[in-house]
Structure 1
């Protein structure tokens, strides 16, 4: 890595509390790589050789079951993904691929475990990352259990609008098949759900979703703190 890249990486949250010695140990053998859209970074069932840290771009975590694919989560920068397999020295339970051009930091898994064992500050950061991933999984499971697919879609739209800060519209950064997978439905049902939401303050323009009446959409979606609030 270039010196400028190393300086950028040193300020990432993952490394914010580690000692200089630990940071050097993590980064001296790490690789910062660019990947185009559609590259599979991790294969389900393979052993975890690297910790992946998404620095720029968008990554999809997914699984292949019974000849089909199902979305597990979407990873935004700056975040690790499938960290548990690295810490536990176990095979990956899911696969991962880029949905846009991305920059990913690859840190050898054994180096991560070595630093984890001796640097309390780094172990604390890793524990927080694992806790956040666990809570995110529980929230998604609760959404699947308590909501219909159209309600999940409505809440996804509200969450994306809040994330972008636009409040009025969002642009879906991937195809409808990917979106359908990540809200737990089929592409056909997604189209029907999008049509239903036009009665609840939403307009669809290709990949752009326009929220004309946010209050009406919220009244239908009924977002809940312990499902939809990323800070809870």
Structure 2
């Protein structure tokens, strides 16, 4: 198992440029497991025992109010790690996590990770880069929720799923497969499922065609302009 974890770690963005000696040390106490769909990985308020890194599948981070009403905070994709700030600070999780489909997850023992971050500057820089990226993503999300309409939020999400490779102007369309159910997507975008359905309907005359979880964008640039959503390399990105 340790050799399998080591091989995976060499391909993960979090460990790019980190020495094999450090990676080998991180495999002590590590676990690599498949989890079924809808498995709770950790709960809000728990102290982290591991840093979870998604290798395959999809998961989500969520928060709950006092009545138990859940809201999706983020969708976790392969290569992402779950709430590293809590792991490094040895502090309670501020959100829970669960799988949305069968998922393969690498779990690194929290005390081992903290010890290696303190010892290895290259690892510390990679972890810091991950924390910075997550912090900036959170700021973008707060701005998205507070400054954009529901139509703009949905358009921005769909456009974020479009292949970023240069588009041929004559072939400006794109097909997007929603990575999660519409119920989860609605919560992620700060809407009810009914609001999401109405927002899809509003966008249908403006470059969108939806069949199940497949979204056909007839013109990426026209959708951006109609919803006033900037290019991914610009200042108005989600």
Normalised TM-score (structure 1) = 0.91
Change (3 A) 1:47 1:37: same
- Return 5+ residue gaps in structure 2 as ranges: 168-172
Residues 30-58 of structure 1 show CA distances to partners (whole Å, capped at 9, x for unaligned) of 10111121111121111111101111111
Change (3 A) 1:15 1:214: closer
Matched-pair contact (CA < 8 Å) for 1:143–1:227: no
Residue 173 (structure 1) aligned with residue 179 (structure 2): yes
RMSD: 2.0
Give the distance between the partners of 2:58 and 2:166, measured in 1 at CA. Answer: 18
Give the distance between the partners of 2:236 and 2:138, measured in 1 at CA. Answer: 10
Q: Which structure 1 residue ranges, 4+ long, deviate > 6 Å from structure 2?
A: none
Residues 92-127 of structure 1 show CA distances to partners (whole Å, capped at 9, x for unaligned) of 001111112211100111111111111111111110
Which of the two has greater helix per residue? 1
Equivalences, count? 229
Give the distance between the partners of 1:61 and 1:163, measured in 2 at CA. Answer: 25
Pick which of 115-124 and 82-91 moved more: 115-124
Matched-pair contact (CA < 8 Å) for 1:139–1:226: no
Give the distance between the partners of 1:165 and 1:78, measured in 2 at CA. Answer: 24
What displacement does 1:14 show?
2.1
Normalised TM-score (structure 2) = 0.89
Partner residue in 2 for 1:198: 204
What displacement does 1:201 show?
0.9
